[in-house]
Amino acid sequence: MSRLGVRCFTVSLDGYGAGPDQSRSDPLGRGGMALHEWMFATRTARKMFGREGGETGIDDDFTAQGFENVGAWILGRNMFGPIRGAWPDESWRGWWGETPPYHTPVFVLTHHPRKPLEMEGGTTFHFVTDGIESALRQARSAANGRDIRLGGGIQAIRQYLSAGHIDDLHLVISPVLLGSGEPLLAGIDLPRLGYRCVRHVPSARATHVVLARQ
C-alpha cells in the first residue's frame, strides 16, 4: 500500500512552518522565505526552476529523495493559492507557472468545488471538497502503489497527523527565528500518536529530522 509521507518540510527553531501575514506577494509570510535557504542552494532545487549549478551533499540528497517514488501529492488550499472562499473564476492556476514541480496528480483540499486543472509536465490538480479521508483515498488510487507526498500547508499536515495517517515525516529545522506565524506541532502529542525520531542529520545549513510512526 502507498505510504503517506511529509518530506522536506521546513520549520523554524521556534517551531513555525510559515511566518505571519501571508499574502499573494508574501506566500510564506513575513520572514518565511528564509526558512528554505537550505534548499534553494541545492542542485536539485535549482534544476527544478530551470537553473544550472547548485550544491551537492546532505541537503541536496534529502531534496532529491523527497521526489523519489512519489505517485501523487496532497496539498492544502493555501499551498495552491491565496484565494479564500468560493473561486471567483478559474484564472488562478497556482504559484508555479504552467509547469508545476509535481508531475503527478495533486489533490487539493478545499471547501469549494472546481473542475480539475491539467497543467504541463504531467501535473493535474484535483479539488477535493469532502475532506482529508476522501483526498487520501483518491491519492492512493492515483498513486498506483507508489508513495503519496503531503506537501502542506500547516493545517493539512496537522489534520493528517492527528488522524494518524502520516507514516513518516522528514522535517528540516532551519536556524531561523520567526517569533510568530503558523506552528506545526503545537498541542500535538507525537509520542502518544506513536511517532519516534528515527534519524537526525545535521548539515551546514539545517538539521534534518525523520519521524516515523511505530
Digit-coded pLDDT (tens) for 111-166: 999 999 999 999 999 999 999 999 999 999 999 999 999 999 999 999 999 999 99
Label residue 84 by pLDDT band (50, 70, 90): confident
Instruction: Say which residue, 214 or 150, is predicted with more confidence.
Output: 150
Residue 49 in this model has a pLDDT that exceeds 90: no
Q: What is the DSSP letter of 3?
A: P
Using CB atoms within 10 A of its CB, is residue 120 exposed (0-12), middle (13-18) or buried (19+)?
Answer: exposed
* % residues pLDDT > 70 (the chain): 100
- Structural Rg of the chain based on CA atoms: 17
Minimal CA–CA distance to 107: which of 147, 69, 77? 77
How many Å separate Cα 130 from the centre of its chain?
Answer: 20
Which cell numbers hold the place of 59?
541537503
Closest CA to 129 of 152, 154, 110, 148: 110
**Unique residue bearing C-alpha cell 510564506:** 28
Distance between the two ends of the chain, CA-based, in angstroms?
16
Residue 50 pLDDT class (50, 70, 90 cuts):
confident
What architecture (CATH level 2) is domain 4-83+99-213?
A: 3-Layer(aba) Sandwich (3.40)
For residue 82, pLDDT beyond 90: no
Question: Which DSSP string do the residues of 138-195 spell out, in sequence order?
Answer: HHHHHHTTSEEEEEE-HHHHHHHHHTT---EEEEEE-S---SSSEESSTT--HHHHTE
DSSP conformational letter for 2? P
- Residue 202 pLDDT greater than 90, yes or no: yes
In this prediction, residue 212 carries a pLDDT of: 97
Handedness of CA 134, 139, 145, 148 (dihedral sign): negative
* In the predicted structure, residue 91 carries a pLDDT above the cut 80: yes
